């Protein structure tokens, strides 16, 4: 075992170097960073899309309202992330610029997939260029466009997948089975919020605090991102 570990060590010093068994170790390390990040849940409901995330407030002197974990890309698109949040901020700002540029150029809202592909292309580019490192962040991008309600997940490799409901971050292994068991296509945004809060509470246990939870949704009625008020989240705990 030790000789193999020693043999593999040299292959993780550059993003562009494949190991003998065909792995890009730096990219795998970036994916591990996502798995250690704060938990983020995305759910497609019959009347909208929902994002719920753990703000991971670890100090009583931190102002919870100042921690932003769900970002608006455009009126009809929002995103959250797990991993290195400074990396996420760069990707969010790129997505916002892309959405604004699309509106100016075509005088219409950008498709959700258009944003996802752009972020995926940038992430992939950073896995094949010298002097770069992969983005150490995974994203959940949710929105409503002419195709309907859509939820995508991206990872540091640049791969993206579309989901009905999914979770990224440290709670993935515990919460994903709950989503598989209890998710229904017919659930409303409010029912989805209850499921997400229940899942987070089960995962965090005694560490659960309503101040740690951030939630936002986009509904079919107006196709605009709206944050869920703290008092409403408190009633669902």
Dihedral of CA atoms 93, 94, 99, 105 in degrees, nearest 10, equals 130
What's the average model confidence in pLDDT over 63-69? Answer: 85
Say what the pLDDT of residue 7 is: 52
Q: Choose the most confident range, by mean pLDDT, from 43-47, 131-135, 230-234.
A: 43-47
Say what the pLDDT of residue 5 is: 52
In this structure, which topology does domain 25-53+66-230 adopt according to CATH? 3.60.20
The separation between the first and the last C-alpha atoms of the chain, rounded to the nearest angstrom, is 47
Question: Edge-to-edge strand order for the sheet containing 70-74?
Answer: 70-74, 77-83, 137-145, 148-154, 160-162
What's the average model confidence in pLDDT over 218-233? Answer: 93
Domain assignments of the chain as residue spans, ordered by start: 25-53+66-230
The CA distance from 193 to 236, in Å, is 8
pTM: 0.93
pLDDT, mean over the chain: 92
pLDDT at 9 over 70: no
């Amino acid at each position: 075992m030790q000789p193999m570990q020693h043999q593999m060590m040299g292959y993780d010093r550059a993003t562009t170097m494949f190991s003998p068994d065909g792995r890009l170790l730096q990219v795998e390390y970036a994916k591990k960073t996502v798995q250690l990040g704060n938990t983020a849940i995305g759910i497609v409901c019959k009347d909208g899309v929902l994002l719920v995330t753990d703000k991971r407030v670890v100090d009583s002197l931190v102002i919870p309202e100042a921690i932003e974990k769900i970002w608006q890309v455009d009126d009809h698109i929002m995103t959250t992330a797990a991993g290195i949040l400074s990396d996420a901020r760069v990707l969010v700002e790129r997505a916002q610029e892309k959405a604004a540029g699309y509106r100016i150029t075509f005088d219409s809202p950008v498709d959700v997939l258009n944003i996802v592909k752009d972020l995926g292309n940038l992430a992939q580019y950073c896995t094949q260029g010298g002097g770069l490192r992969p983005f150490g962040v995974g994203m959940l991008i949710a929105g409503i466009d002419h195709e309907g309600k859509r939820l995508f997940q991206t990872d540091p490799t640049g791969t993206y997948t579309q989901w009905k409901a999914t979770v990224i971050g440290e709670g993935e292994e515990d919460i994903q089975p709950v989503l598989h068991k209890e998710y229904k296509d017919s659930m409303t945004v409010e029912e989805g919020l209850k499921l997400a809060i229940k899942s987070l509470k089960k995962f965090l246990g005694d560490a659960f605090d309503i101040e740690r939870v951030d939630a936002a949704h986009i509904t079919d009625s107006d196709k605009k991102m709206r944050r869920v008020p703290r008092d409403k989240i408190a009633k669902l705990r």
